[in-house]
């Protein structure tokens, strides 16, 4: 039997992914997790769970509930264990499907989906694990994203240059893999297009995800206050308590000219390729040496981040 479509919403942080998540979670048939963050780290060590005699359920459940982001989803462990006992999954991917199905059942819905922005850089692995997955890559103007990051620096980049590099890296990597997945499994949607015409964009994505459009989806804000209160950072999501609204952030009026020039120097080509207005300020920007230094530092940070797991494993063996 073919598995139902598994919607996955991804994108650079601060791009409106939670807004899209709440719209689709308001569909009467679809339960969308909010950054459960367990699929990828467990997928990278799926051999730990997949045994010749079948899936090591105990180890799988133990690691699952060691993930604080998953625990925050509020899914009862007994329900997960019951689901795994009933389906007897033989593979890691089947176990994940069972967990998401239990989440959907707990919310009284038949279908499930996930919103984890960071998975935008891992679409290839996720696409192989879940052939039924369809990826919605949410993209927002990188200048607005950079300002949003600096407003909440505890979540990521703390400088304008780092924010621009972060946005360029994530969006570019997601698009590159998305092209390989093809139009049947990968869809890009601009945040600004949703703001301009919420119903048209929502209907289009419903068709892509094999969902019928429901007017209740555009009433997502009626539960927005409760959603924000349940997050670790309710102030960051207070806008979800109102309908889709234009002008929440506007780099044209809120961003310093030097910052516009800096971001366009770093990411102007990508902005233009995505159809965003580019002022040309980056062409005469005098801080190109600073940009080059920021790019070198950014590359160093990425390499360090990738090496950290290896370093930790070596240190554990030396103890």
Tell me the angle at which helices 257-273 and 142-151 cross, rounded to the nearest 10 degrees: 130
Q: Over the stretch 176-233, which tens digit does the pLDDT of each residue have?
A: 999 999 999 999 999 999 999 999 999 999 999 999 999 999 999 999 888 888 887 7
Q: Is 281 among the domain residues?
A: no
pLDDT of residue 318: 66
Residues 79 and 102: their CA atoms lie apart, in Å, by 7
Q: Which of 25-29, 278-282, 295-299, 309-313 has the lowest mean pLDDT?
A: 309-313
Note whether residue 198 is domain-resident. yes
Is the pLDDT assigned to residue 72 strictly greater than 70? yes
pLDDT at 50: 96
Considering the chain, what is the average pLDDT of its residues?
91
Domain hosting residue 38, numbered range: 6-248
HSE-CB for 110 with a 13 A CA cutoff? 5
Would the pLDDT of 235 be above 70?
yes
Q: What are phi and psi of 202, to 5 degrees?
A: -65, -45
State the Cα–Cα distance between residues 254 and 279, nearest whole angstrom. Answer: 15
- Residue 226 falls within a domain, yes or no? yes
Give the per-residue pLDDT at 233: 77
Note whether residue 293 is domain-resident.
no
CATH no. for residue 92? 3.40.50.300
Q: Are 30 and 136 in contact (CB under 8 A)?
A: no
- Predicted structure pTM score: 0.91
**DSSP per residue, 24-50:** HHTSTTEEEEE----HHHHHTTGGGTE
pLDDT at 84 over 80: yes
Q: What percent of the chain has pLDDT over 70?
A: 93
Does 263 map to a domain? no
Asked if residue 100 lies in contact with residue 112, where contact means CB atoms within 8 angstroms, the answer is: yes
The rounded distance, in Å, linking the Cα atoms of 204 and 208 is: 6
pLDDT at 175 over 90: yes
**Does residue 3 have a pLDDT over 90?**
no
Q: At what angle do helices 160-181 and 288-318 cross, to 10 degrees?
A: 70
* Predicted confidence (pLDDT) at residue 313 exceeds the cutoff of 80: no
* Burial class, 181, CB count within 10 angstroms (exposed 0-12 / middle 13-18 / buried 19+): middle
Q: Is residue 264 part of a domain?
A: no
What is the rounded CA–CA span in Å between residue 198 and residue 119?
24
Residue at 237 is within a domain: yes
Instruction: Transcribe 37-86 into DSSP letters.
Output: --HHHHHTTGGGTEETTEE-HHHHHHHHTT-HHHHTT---HHHHHHHHHH
**What is the reported pLDDT for 241?**
84
Task: Tell me the C-alpha distance between 280 and 248, whole Å.
Answer: 24
The two three-digit tokens of residue 277, written as one number = 């207005």
Residue 152 lies in a domain: yes
Burial of 61 (0-12, 13-18, 19+ CB in 10 A): middle
Tell me the average pLDDT across 43-56: 92
The yes-or-no verdict on residue 281 having pLDDT over 90 is no
Structure tokens at 178: 């998305």
pLDDT of 255 reads: 96
The band of 152, judged by pLDDT with boundaries at 50, 70 and 90, is: confident
Q: What is the mean pLDDT of residues 122-143?
A: 98
Q: Name which of 204-213, 237-246, 278-287, 307-316 the model is least confident about.
A: 307-316
Residues 289-311 pLDDT 10s:
677 777 877 777 777 776 776 66
Backbone torsions φ then ψ of 197, nearest 5 degrees: -150, 80
What is residue 54's predicted lDDT score, i.e. its pLDDT? 87
Number of domains composing the chain: 1
């Amino acid at each position: 039997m073919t598995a139902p479509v598994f919607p996955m919403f991804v994108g650079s942080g601060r791009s409106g992914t939670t807004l899209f998540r709440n719209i689709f979670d308001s569909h009467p048939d679809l339960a969308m997790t909010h950054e459960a963050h367990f699929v990828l780290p467990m997928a990278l060590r799926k051999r730990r769970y997949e045994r010749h005699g079948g899936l090591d359920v105990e180890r799988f459940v133990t690691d699952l509930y060691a993930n604080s982001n998953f625990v925050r989803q509020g899914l009862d462990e007994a329900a997960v264990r019951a689901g795994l006992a009933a389906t007897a999954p033989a593979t890691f991917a089947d176990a994940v499907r069972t967990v998401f199905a239990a989440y959907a059942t707990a919310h009284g819905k038949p279908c499930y989906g996930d919103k984890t922005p960071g998975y935008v850089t891992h679409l290839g692995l996720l696409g192989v694990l879940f052939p039924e997955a369809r990826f919605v890559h949410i993209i927002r103007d990188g200048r607005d994203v950079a300002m949003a990051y600096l407003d909440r620096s505890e979540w990521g980049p703390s400088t304008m240059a780092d924010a621009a590099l972060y946005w360029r890296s994530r969006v570019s990597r997601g698009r590159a893999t998305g092209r390989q997945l093809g139009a049947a499994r990968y869809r890009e949607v601009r945040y600004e297009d949703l703001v301009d015409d919420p119903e048209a964009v929502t209907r289009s994505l419903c068709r892509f995800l094999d969902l019928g459009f429901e007017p209740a989806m555009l009433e997502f804000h009626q539960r927005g206050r409760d959603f924000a209160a349940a997050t670790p950072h309710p102030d960051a999501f207070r806008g979800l308590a109102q309908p889709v609204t234009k002008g929440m952030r506007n780099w044209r009026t809120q961003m310093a000219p030097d910052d516009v020039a800096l971001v366009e120097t770093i990411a102007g080509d990508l902005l233009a390729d995505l159809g965003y207005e580019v002022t040309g300020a980056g062409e005469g920007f005098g801080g190109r040496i600073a940009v080059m230094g920021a790019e070198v530092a950014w590359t160093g940070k990425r390499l360090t981040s990738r090496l950290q797991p290896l370093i930790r494993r070596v240190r554990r063996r030396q103890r």
